[in-house]
Amino acid sequence: MELRGAAIIVTGASRGLGAALAEGLGRAGARLVLISRDREALEAVVEKVRAQGGEAHPIVADVGARESASRVAGATGALVGPVEVVIHNAGTLGPVPLAPLADTSDEDFEQALATNLVGPFRLTRALVGSMALRGRGTVVLVSSDAATTPYPRWGAYGVSKAALEHLGRIWNTELSDTGIRFLIVDPGEMDTRMHREAVPEADPATLLPPEQAAARVVQLLREAP
């Protein structure tokens, strides 16, 4: 697909893979709306994108909050027009150090599902009707191998990612004749703050820089029809 001029939403864009995606897509000429709860960090990413000649607009929002989907969809439509790509990158592990399921509170489990699963469901639902009417659109779900491997202590996160992947498969089946594509991306273990918090003993030299993972996603989008 042609990324120049494409209206793209990236959630969780204030750091890690989201920030790297914003920079990569900004350089490719996309018109970006970047979402994060962290205003200061988000505005720093926006400035970086703009400094490289890209277009980016910040929206401070918690993707897990009930009204965020209609807020983000509406403001994005006003700022950059009909959305062509949404990248559901925002994710939470819950409190660290990670705890076994038996020691996970209701609130922490529900928060992981709200951010990693229900938020992407609501935002996708707010966007796919317009995409279907235009006959094109791409929804990227950033997942993890925790979706398929039952790592101890990664319970809430793993469950949310497994459900997110299945959500993508069902969307894909239900909307198969609309021109909308659903891509599930597992970027692998990256050298990000999230990974350092989850696995503090990991050797950063063995981890993928998020910029490299972002470059692969940008390439994937470019190569898509």
Residues labelled catalytic: 157
- Nearest distance, CB of residue 4 and another protein, angstroms: 20
> What's the CA gap between 193 and 186, in Å, rounded?
17
The residues near 165 (Cβ < 8 Å, ≥ 6 apart) are 141, 143, 147, 184
Nearer to another protein, 134 or 216 (CB): 134
Tokens of residue 133, six digits: 């009417």
Q: Which of 86, 105, 92, 110 is nearest to 38 (CA)?
A: 92
Nearer to another protein, 154 or 171 (CB): 171
Residue ranges in contact with another protein by CB under 8 A: 57-60, 67, 69-71, 73-75, 77-79, 81-83, 126, 128-130, 132-134, 175, 177-178
Q: What is the DSSP letter of 115?
A: I
> What's the CA gap between 97 and 198, in Å, rounded?
6
- Nearest distance, CB of residue 112 and another protein, angstroms: 23
Whether omega for the bond prior to residue 204 falls within 30 degrees of 0, making it cis, is no
Whose tokens are 């994060």? That residue is: 36
Report CA torsion sign: 205, 28, 169, 59.
positive
Nearer to another protein, 1 or 60 (CB): 60
Tokens of residue 161, six digits: 């990612």
- Nearest distance, CB of residue 150 and another protein, angstroms: 34
Nearer to another protein, 130 or 149 (CB): 130
Could you tell me how far CA 198 lies from the centroid of its own chain?
19
- Nearest distance, CB of residue 80 and another protein, angstroms: 10
Which ranges constitute the DSSP H helices of 114-209?
119-134, 155-174, 193-198
Nearer to another protein, 43 or 110 (CB): 43
